[in-house]
């Protein structure tokens, strides 16, 4: 077996906005994730990160391209049907907007236990409720929250319920779309430590989508940067942060807010002019494992 868990090849997704209007939300994106890797996906708001995540999870059927998961082409209906149960169990997603992804009529305990229930997984701690309590404690909430409804929780508490639900399945691939943006920094740290633990001890691979670049720098092995539906740069984390090549990546990194008022107020950031963006071209290797979107003739 190869060590590639996820192979995204020339993925495109087009939304039809109206009869005449089409939006290339994701445009010819390719990347791979190795088994046990934490891959960060960052970039402009609206650049297509969540759409990539949804295609990977079979929520959207891509317009073009294919996605191989453990060598299974999940975009192929027949192959998907054949491995349906395994795929549903092994891949879990934490949605960017947990408020609308949680069933408002279910109590927290049932929300967390639902996937285990559906897949008839025997809870390691005996009863489903005990398992739900255990998972909840990992995200910093005690048993008193088990009988609450989502509407009775704060934004960050709801988000943590969604995280507990996804982790309870011990997925092979966890797609985490902005999982921590609504949490305070101490709980963010706790969740990130938890992700690291799951990655190290249980071998979870994680696709981590986030705007918080300092957290991405801390957590991820490799990072991809998206802009206007395109993947413009991919590199190992340290390389990307120390040696960004694409002008958009440079602008993005220059805008990372620094938690120091005097420094931050007086800081200049670089701007990226939309008009100068070159959509054409291909990912070109500029350093080992470091790829940048470039026009081919420019080498």
Ligand X SMILES: Nc1ncnc2c1ncn2[C@@H]1O[C@H](COP(=O)(O)OP(=O)(O)OP(=O)(O)O)[C@@H](O)[C@H]1O
Binding region for ligand X (CB under 6 A): 15, 17, 23, 25, 45-51, 96, 151-157
Angle formed at CA 55 by CA 245 and CA 100, multiple of 5 degrees? 105
Smallest separation (angstroms) from ligand X to the CB of 89: 25
- Residue 132 has, within 13 A of its CA and on its CB side, a CA count of 22
Told to check if 152 binds other proteins by CB under 8 A, we report yes
Contacts of 264 (CB under 8 A, 6+ apart): 257, 258
Told to check if 41 binds other proteins by CB under 8 A, we report no
- Residue 239 has, within 13 A of its CA and on its CB side, a CA count of 18
- Per CB under 8 A, which region of 30-38, 65-73, 208-216, 229-237 contacts other proteins? 208-216
How far is it, in rounded angstroms, from Cα 162 to Cα 108?
9
How many residues in the chain? 299
Smallest separation (angstroms) from other proteins to the CB of 172: 23
Q: Indicate which single residue of 11, 169, 187, 234 sits in contact with other proteins (rule: CB under 8 A).
A: 187
How far is it, in rounded angstroms, from Cα 18 to Cα 8?
28
- Per CB under 8 A, which region of 62-70, 189-197, 276-284, 288-296 contacts other proteins? 189-197
Smallest separation (angstroms) from Mg ion to the CB of 245: 24
Told to check if 42 binds other proteins by CB under 8 A, we report yes
CB atoms within 10 A of CB 100: 9
Contacted by 92, from Mg ion, other proteins, ligand X, none: CB < 5 to 8 Å by type: none
Q: Which two tokens stand for residue 232?
A: 């413009």
Q: Between 17 and 262, name the residue whose CB sits nearer to ligand X.
A: 17
Q: Indicate which single residue of 76, 264, 278, 285 sits in contact with other proteins (rule: CB under 8 A).
A: 264
- Per CB under 8 A, which region of 125-133, 137-145, 162-170, 278-286 contacts other proteins? 137-145
Alpha-carbon separation of residue 159 from 10, 110, 162, 184, 190 (angstroms): 32, 15, 5, 11, 13
Contacted by 189, from ligand X, Mg ion, other proteins, none: CB < 5 to 8 Å by type: other proteins
Residue pair 135/112 in contact (Cβ under 8 Å)? The answer is: yes
Told to check if 260 binds other proteins by CB under 8 A, we report yes
Sign of CA dihedral 94, 95, 98, 100: negative
How far is it, in rounded angstroms, from Cα 40 to Cα 226?
11
Q: Count of residues binding other proteins (CB under 8 A)?
A: 62
Told to check if 221 binds other proteins by CB under 8 A, we report no
Residues in contact with Mg ion by CB under 5 A are: 50, 96, 155
Residues that bind other proteins (CB under 8 A): 17, 23, 42-47, 96-97, 140-142, 144, 147-148, 151-157, 159-160, 178, 181-190, 192-193, 196, 211-215, 217-218, 251-252, 255-265, 269, 271-272
């Amino acid at each position: 077996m190869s060590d590639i868990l996820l192979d995204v090849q020339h993925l495109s997704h087009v939304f039809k906005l109206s009869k005449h209007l089409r939006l290339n939300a994701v445009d010819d994106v390719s990347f791979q994730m190795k088994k046990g890797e934490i891959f960060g996906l960052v970039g402009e708001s609206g650049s297509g990160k969540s759409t990539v995540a949804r295609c990977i999870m079979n929520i959207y059927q891509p317009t073009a391209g294919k996605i191989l998961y453990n060598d299974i082409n999940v975009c192929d209906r027949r192959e998907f049907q054949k491995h349906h149960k395994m795929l549903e169990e092994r891949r879990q997603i934490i949605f960017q907007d947990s408020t609308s992804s949680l069933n408002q009529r279910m109590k927290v305990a049932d929300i967390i236990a639902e996937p285990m229930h559906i897949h008839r997984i025997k809870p390691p701690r005996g009863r489903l409720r005990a398992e739900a309590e255990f998972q909840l404690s990992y995200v910093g909430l005690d048993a008193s929250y088990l009988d609450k409804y989502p509407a009775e929780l704060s934004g960050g508490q709801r988000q943590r319920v969604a995280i507990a639900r996804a982790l309870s399945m011990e997925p092979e691939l966890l797609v985490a779309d902005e999982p921590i943006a609504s949490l305070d920094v101490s709980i963010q740290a706790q969740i990130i430590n938890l992700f690291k633990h799951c990655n190290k001890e249980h071998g979870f691979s994680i696709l981590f989508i986030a705007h918080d670049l300092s957290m991405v720098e801390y957590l991820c092995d490799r990072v991809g940067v998206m802009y206007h539906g395109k993947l413009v740069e991919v590199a190992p984390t340290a390389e990307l942060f120390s040696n960004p090549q694409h002008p958009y990546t440079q602008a993005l990194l220059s805008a990372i807010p620094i938690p120091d008022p005097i420094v931050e107020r007086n800081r200049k950031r670089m701007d990226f002019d939309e008009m100068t963006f070159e959509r054409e071209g291909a990912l070109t290797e500029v350093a080992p494992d470091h790829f940048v979107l470039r026009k081919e003739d420019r080498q």
